[in-house]
Structure 1
Amino acid sequence: MDDLTKEQRHRAMSHIKATDTKIEVLLRKHLWKKGIRYRKNYALLPGKPDIVISKYRIAIFCDSEFFHGKDWGHLKEHLKSSINSVYWLKKIQRNIDRDTEITKQLHSLGWTVIRFWGKDIIQNPEECVQTIEDAILEQKIQQIELRQPSFPPPK
């Protein structure tokens, strides 16, 4: 059951931003401090990732728990008793399916995909940055290995 009137809910929902959200800005600030340069909302890739480190082919998504269905089993049960439950169940399930599809598309294009939940970014942005730094290191190692000449074995 919704505690807000239809007008109050409309006003609240209209203030939800698609880009430059609190969690995106927080993560980007921490990346910038570490000297990691990026592009934001990169429209040339499927799903328009929130942050892209193109040099290392890393796409980062900052997902809010509600709209991207964290703990979907529990949330689904809670939403079944809410107003407009059919709409929300369909919308969030579609978001989950789209997230999965976008991740697959990016992987098939050779990109590393990292997804963070909003609360993880807020509670521990340093850990999120460390995850990204680990992915960069992994990409650097792969790039070096690809550049190594393969010599024929001695006869």
Structure 2
Amino acid sequence: MVDVVDSATRSRMMSGIRGRNTKPEILIRSLLHRHGFRFRLHARDLPGKPDIVLPRYHAVVFVHGCFWHGHDCPLFKWPGTRPDFWREKIRRNQANDNRAREALLAKGWRVGIVWECAMRGAGKNIEGVAQSLADWLRSGAPLIEVKE
């Protein structure tokens, strides 16, 4: 499939997408705060620079975009242009995610992953996502993955 915009426009559009303070991340932070949890943001001293760090619970939360992390869900679609570049890019992101998760677990941190698809689309229960995270934080379980 041919791109509907020229390469300069596509480049400008893609460069505008940021890795921090995304709408899903801000939403999760807001919901956790409303549930009484206090946290730090983007800890550079931890593997993978987690989006949310909850020191009291020795837990971290990553908020993953389905496209950038190659999630197998309806929100993810392989780009038609430059497929080799995108397959390598997304595979590399997934490998980095796995490395960071394993390193954090090995250091005794608990890891939560919230996928973008859990918060988007008709009928999504945003409060349910927050409740799942809150229950996980209080449970002491090492890992949770919240997805569609």
Report the TM-score, using the length of structure 1 for normalisation: 0.80
Q: What does residue 54 of structure 1 align with?
A: 55
C-alpha contact 2:53 2:59 (8 A) present in aligned 1: yes
Shift, 1:135, TM fit: 2.1
Give the Å deviation of 1:17: 0.9
Measure how far apart 1:85 and its partner are: 1.1
SS in 2 for 1:97: helix
Match of 2:9 in 1: 8
- Code of the aligned partner of 2:96: R
Question: What is the DSSP-based 3-state SS (H/G/I as helix, E as strand, rest coil) of the residue aligned with 1:9?
Answer: helix
**% identical equivalent positions:** 34
Q: Secondary structure at the match of 1:52?
A: strand
Find the aligned partners of 1:114 and 1:9 in 2 and give their Cα distance.
Answer: 32
CA shift for structure 1 position 114: 0.8
Counterpart residue type for residue 105 of structure 2: H
RMSD over equivalenced CA pairs, Å: 2.0
Deviations 1:104-128 (A, max 9, x none): 1111011111111112134332122
Please name the residue that 1:21 is paired with: 22
Say which SS state the counterpart of residue 114 (structure 1) adopts: strand
Deviation, structure 1 residue 42: 1.1
State the match for 2:117 in structure 1. Answer: 119
Range 53-62 or range 128-137, more displaced: 128-137
Whole-Å Cα distance in 2 between the matches of residues 8 and 121 of structure 1? 28
Q: 1:10 offset after TM fit, Å?
A: 0.9
Other-structure match for 1:40: 41
Structure 1: how far apart are the matches of 2:47 and 2:106? 11
Q: Which amino acid aligns with 1:131?
A: S
Letter of the structure 1 residue corresponding to residue 7 of structure 2: K
Which string of whole-angstrom CA distances, capped at 9 and with x for unpartnered residues, describes residues 62-86 of structure 1? 00010100118xx67x44xx22111
- Provide structure 1 residue ranges, at least 5 long, that are not aligned to the other structure: 142-155
Higher radius of gyration, 1 or 2: 1
For the 8 Å contact 1:51–1:60, the answer to whether it is kept is: yes
Tell me the TM-score normalized by structure 2: 0.84
Match 2:83 to one of 85, 105, 109 = 85
5+ residue gaps, structure 2, are 142-148
| Count of matched residue positions in the alignment of Structure 1 and Structure 2 | 136
Structure 2 residue 96 is matched with structure 1 residue 95: no
1:149 is matched with which residue?
none
Q: Is the 8 A contact 1:27 1:121 kept in 2?
A: no
